[in-house]
C-alpha cells in the first residue's frame, strides 16, 4: 500500500524571524570575523613593512654616520702626520703619512659604496678638495727642501685646503649624525605607536581571541625581535658582535662627564692583518676578528667596554684605570691572550698587535680628543716599532715647541739672524795657520743665544737643513773672499749633514756660490761624518766625487766613531781625516787613546791623507800629537771659535808671535 506523504509542518512565524535574525547575526559575525581578520592582516602587513623600512633606514643612516666618523678621524690623523713629517721627515714617517692618506681615500670610497644620500654632492666636493689638499701637501714637502719663504707660502696653502676639507667633512658628519638620530627616533616612534595600536586591534578582535591570540602573540614576538635586532645591529659590529664606535663614543662621554672619574682608552691595531685576508680570504679573516673580540672581552673586567671600530681596530674603554702603569698592565695582559694562535679550520694563525694608551687629562674631557690622542700614539708606535706606547702630553708640547722653533729658524735664515764663528786650524810642525772651520751661531731676537745642538738637529730632521747649509756656505764664502782680498787667504771648512749628501743638486749649488762670490774652490773644504756617508754610501760617493772633481777639499769628520771600513775609505775622494775629540782630550794621560790616535795617523798617512786632531786643549796634547806624526791641530788650546772680526785680531796676533818649538814626547 503506498506510503502517504507526511503532513506539512507549520512553522512559527516568530521562530522563522528569529532564525533569520540568527542567520543575519551569523553572517554578521562572519563578516566581522573577516573584517577583523582583514584589519589584523592589514595591521600586521603595515606594521611589518613600516618597521622594516624604518629599520633599514636607521641601519643605513647609522652605518653612513659611522663611515663619516671614519673619514673625519682619517683626515685628523693625516693632518697630524703632515705636521709630524715637518719635524721628522724620515722614510718611516713619510710612509705613515702615505698610509694615512690612503686610509682617508679608503674612507671616501666606503662612503661611495654605502651611498651618501642627501650628502652625495658633499662627498663629491670633498673628493675634489682632497685632491687639491694632497697637491698642496706635496708642494709643501717639496718647498720645504728648497726655500723657506716658499715653504711658508705652501704651509698656508696646505692649511687653507685642510681647513676647507675639514670643514666640509665635519659638517657632513654632523649632518649625518642628525639624520641617524632622526631615523632612530622615528623607529622608536613607530614602536611606541605600534604598542598603542596593538591593544586596540586586540580589543576589536576579542571575540576571536581564541583563534587570533596565538597569531598576535607570535607576530608581537617577531616584531619585538626585529626591533631588538635592529637596535642591536645599529649599535654592534656584525663581525665581532662587539659595540661599535657609536656606543663607544656614548660610553666615553658618560664616563668623562663624571667629575670624579678619569678614564683611559687602549687602541689595538692588528699588524699586517691585510695579509691574512689576502692569504686566507675575508671570510676566514672575519672569523679571526670574531675570535680576537671574544678574547679581548674575556680578558677585561665586566665594567670595561671592548669595541670594534671596523677592520682590524679594537678599542678598550678602561673605567677607573687612570695611571700609565695600570693601563700598561692591561695591555700586557691583552698581548698575552693574543699571543696564542687562532684556529681557522685546520690552519693556525698567529696575530701580532700594536697598542696605544691614552689617559684623560682631567674629568669632563672630550671623547674625540681622547681617541685622537690614542691614534696619534698609535702612529708613533708603528713608526718606531713599539708594541705598546703611552700618549704623552709633554711630548705634544715638546713637538709644539719644536714647531715654533722651526718656524723661527726659517724666519731667522731669511732675516740673516745666524752668524758664523771661525775656529783656526794650525800645522803642528810649523805652527802655521792652515785653515778655519766655520761654525754657525744663532742670536734669537727673543730667546737670545740658541745653542747649535738645539736648532741644527731640528733642521736635520726636516728639509730646512738645505736652506741652512746654503746660508752657511754663502756666508763662509763671503768671508773667504774678504780674507782673500785682504791678502790673507784662509781655507774655510763647512760641515755637511747626511741629508746634504742625499741632494744630487748640491754640487751645482756650491758651484754657483763659488762663482757668485768669486772664490776659488781650493779655499773651500767640506766636512762630512762617517755616519752621513753610511746613510746612502753609493749616492754619497757620487756626490763627493763630483765635489772633489771641482777642486773642493773633502774631510771625514769625527773619524773613529762611525762605521767607515778601510775598503770604503780607499774609494772615497777625501784628503783629510779628523780624529774625534773623544780620543784626543785625554791623549797625554791615556795610553789607550794614544795608541788609537797613533793607529789612525798611520792608517791615514798610508792612504795619503792629512790627519787633523780636534779637541786639542793644551801644549802637552800638541806635543804628543807631534810625536805620533799628526799633521794639524784644532781646539780651545789654540783658540775658541771667534766672530770674523775677532778672528782677524787673533790671526794678526798669532802671526806676530815669537816662534815656539814643541818638544816631542
pLDDT in tens, 612-661: 999 999 989 999 999 999 999 999 999 999 999 999 999 999 988 765 54
Exposure string for 237-249, b = 16+ CB within 10 A, e = fewer? bebbebbbbbbbb
- Nearest-angstrom CA–CA distance, 599 and 613: 13
User: What percentage of the chain exceeds 90 in pLDDT?
Assistant: 26
Instruction: Kindly report, residue by residue over 532-560, the tens digit of the pLDDT.
Output: 777 677 888 899 999 999 999 999 988 87
Three-state SS annotation for 298-367 = HHCCCCCEEEEEECCEEEEEEECCCCHHHHHHHHHHHHHHHHCCEEECCEEECCCEEEEEEECCCCCCCH
Q: What is the pLDDT, as a whole number, of residue 598?
A: 93
Beta-bridge partner residues of 342: 349
SS3 state of residue 175: helix
pLDDT of residue 472: 95
For 145-208, where are the alpha helices, taking DSSP H only? 148-204
CB atoms within 10 A of CB 105: 16
Question: In 3D, which of 575, 579, 583 has the Cα closest to residue 552?
Answer: 575
- Give the pLDDT of residue 83: 72
Spatial separation of the C-alpha atoms in residues 246 and 307, rounded to whole Å = 10
The DSSP result for 423-453, as a single string, is EEEEETTT--EEEEEEEEEEEETTTEEE-HH
Query: What three-state secondary structure class fits 542?
Result: helix
Is the pLDDT at 478 greater than 90? The verdict is yes
What pLDDT is attached to residue 164?
Answer: 77
Task: Report the pLDDT value the prediction gives residue 664, as an integer from 0 to 100.
Answer: 42
Largest CA distance in the chain: 180
Residue range 111-164, pLDDT digits in tens: 777 765 566 777 777 777 777 777 777 777 776 666 555 555 556 666 777 777
CB neighbours (10 Å) of residue 391? 24
pLDDT digits (tens, 9 = 90+) for 337-385: 998 889 888 888 888 899 999 888 654 467 888 888 888 788 778 767 7
CA distances to 455, 466, 531, 544 from 505, in Å: 24, 11, 21, 12
Amino acid at each position: 500500500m503506498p506510503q502517504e506523504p507526511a503532513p506539512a509542518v507549520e512553522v512559527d512565524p516568530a521562530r522563522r524571524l528569529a532564525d533569520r535574525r540568527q542567520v543575519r547575526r551569523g553572517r554578521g559575525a562572519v563578516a566581522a570575523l573577516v573584517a577583523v581578520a582583514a584589519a589584523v592582516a592589514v595591521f600586521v602587513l603595515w606594521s611589518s613593512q613600516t618597521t622594516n623600512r624604518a629599520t633599514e633606514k636607521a641601519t643605513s643612516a647609522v652605518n653612513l654616520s659611522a663611515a663619516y666618523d671614519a673619514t673625519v678621524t682619517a683626515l685628523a690623523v693625516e693632518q697630524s702626520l703632515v705636521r709630524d713629517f715637518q719635524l721628522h721627515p724620515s722614510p718611516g714617517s713619510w710612509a705613515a703619512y702615505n698610509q694615512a692618506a690612503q686610509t682617508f681615500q679608503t674612507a671616501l670610497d666606503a662612503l661611495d659604496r654605502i651611498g651618501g644620500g642627501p650628502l652625495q654632492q658633499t662627498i663629491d666636493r670633498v673628493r675634489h678638495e682632497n685632491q687639491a689638499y694632497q697637491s698642496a701637501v706635496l708642494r709643501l714637502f717639496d718647498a720645504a727642501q728648497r726655500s723657506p719663504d716658499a715653504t711658508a707660502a705652501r704651509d698656508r696653502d696646505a692649511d687653507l685646503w685642510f681647513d676647507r676639507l675639514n670643514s666640509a667633512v665635519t659638517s657632513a658628519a654632523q649632518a649625518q649624525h642628525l639624520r641617524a638620530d632622526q631615523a632612530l627616533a622615528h623607529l622608536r616612534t613607530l614602536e611606541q605607536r605600534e604598542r598603542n595600536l596593538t591593544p586596540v586591534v586586540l580589543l576589536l578582535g576579542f571575540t576571536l581571541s581564541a583563534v587570533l591570540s596565538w597569531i598576535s602573540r607570535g607576530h608581537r614576538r617577531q616584531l619585538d625581535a626585529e626591533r631588538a635586532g635592529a637596535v642591536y645591529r645599529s649599535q654592534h659590529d656584525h663581525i665581532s658582535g662587539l659595540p661599535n664606535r657609536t656606543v663607544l663614543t656614548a660610553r666615553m662621554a658618560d664616563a668623562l662627564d663624571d667629575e670624579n672619574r678619569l678614564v683611559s682608552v687602549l687602541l689595538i691595531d692588528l699588524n699586517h692583518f691585510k695579509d691574512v685576508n689576502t692569504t686566507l680570504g675575508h671570510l676566514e679573516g672575519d672569523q679571526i676578528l670574531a675570535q680576537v673580540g671574544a678574547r679581548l672581552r674575556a680578558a677585561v673586567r665586566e665594567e670595561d667596554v671592548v669595541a670594534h671600530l671596523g677592520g682590524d681596530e679594537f678599542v678598550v674603554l678602561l673605567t677607573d684605570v687612570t695611571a700609565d702603569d695600570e693601563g700598561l698592565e692591561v695591555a700586557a695582559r691583552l698581548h698575552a691572550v693574543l699571543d696564542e694562535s687562532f684556529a681557522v679550520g685546520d690552519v693556525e694563525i698567529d696575530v701580532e698587535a700594536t697598542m696605544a694608551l691614552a689617559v684623560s687629562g682631567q674629568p669632563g674631557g672630550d671623547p674625540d680628543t681622547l681617541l685622537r690622542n690614542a691614534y696619534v700614539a698609535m702612529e708613533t708606535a708603528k713608526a718606531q716599532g713599539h708594541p705598546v706606547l703611552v700618549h704623552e702630553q709633554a711630548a705634544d708640547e715638546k713637538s709644539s715647541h719644536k714647531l715654533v722653533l722651526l718656524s723661527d729658524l726659517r724666519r731667522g735664515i731669511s732675516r740673516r739672524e745666524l752668524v758664523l764663528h771661525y775656529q783656526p786650524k794650525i800645522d803642528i810642525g810649523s805652527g802655521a795657520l792652515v785653515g778655519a772651520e766655520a761654525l754657525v751661531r744663532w742670536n734669537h731676537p727673543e730667546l737670545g743665544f740658541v745653542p747649535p745642538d738645539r736648532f741644527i738637529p731640528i733642521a736635520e730632521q726636516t728639509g730646512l737643513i738645505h736652506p741652512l747649509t746654503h746660508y752657511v756656505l754663502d756666508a763662509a764664502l763671503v768671508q773667504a773672499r774678504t780674507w782673500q782680498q785682504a791678502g790673507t787667504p784662509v781655507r774655510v771648512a763647512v760641515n755637511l749633514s747626511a741629508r746634504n749628501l742625499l741632494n744630487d743638486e748640491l754640487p751645482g749649488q756650491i758651484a754657483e756660490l763659488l762663482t757668485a762670490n768669486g772664490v776659488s774652490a781650493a779655499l773651500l773644504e767640506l766636512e762630512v761624518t762617517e755616519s752621513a756617508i753610511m746613510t746612502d754610501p753609493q749616492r754619497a760617493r757620487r756626490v763627493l766625487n763630483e765635489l772633489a772633481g771641482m777642486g773642493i777639499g773633502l774631510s771625514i769628520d769625527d773619524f773613529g766613531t762611525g762605521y767607515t771600513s778601510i775598503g770604503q775609505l780607499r774609494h772615497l775622494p777625501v784628503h783629510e781625516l779628523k780624529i774625534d775629540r773623544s780620543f784626543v782630550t785625554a791623549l797625554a794621560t791615556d795610553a789607550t787613546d794614544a795608541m788609537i790616535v797613533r793607529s789612525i795617523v798611520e792608517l791615514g798617512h798610508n792612504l795619503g791623507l792629512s790627519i787633523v786632531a780636534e779637541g786639542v786643549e793644551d801644549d802637552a796634547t800638541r806635543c804628543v800629537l807631534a810625536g805620533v806624526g799628526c799633521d794639524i791641530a784644532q781646539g780651545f788650546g789654540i783658540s775658541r771659535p771667534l766672530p770674523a772680526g775677532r778672528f782677524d785680531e787673533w790671526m794678526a796676533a798669532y802671526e806676530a808671535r815669537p816662534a815656539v818649538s814643541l818638544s816631542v814626547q
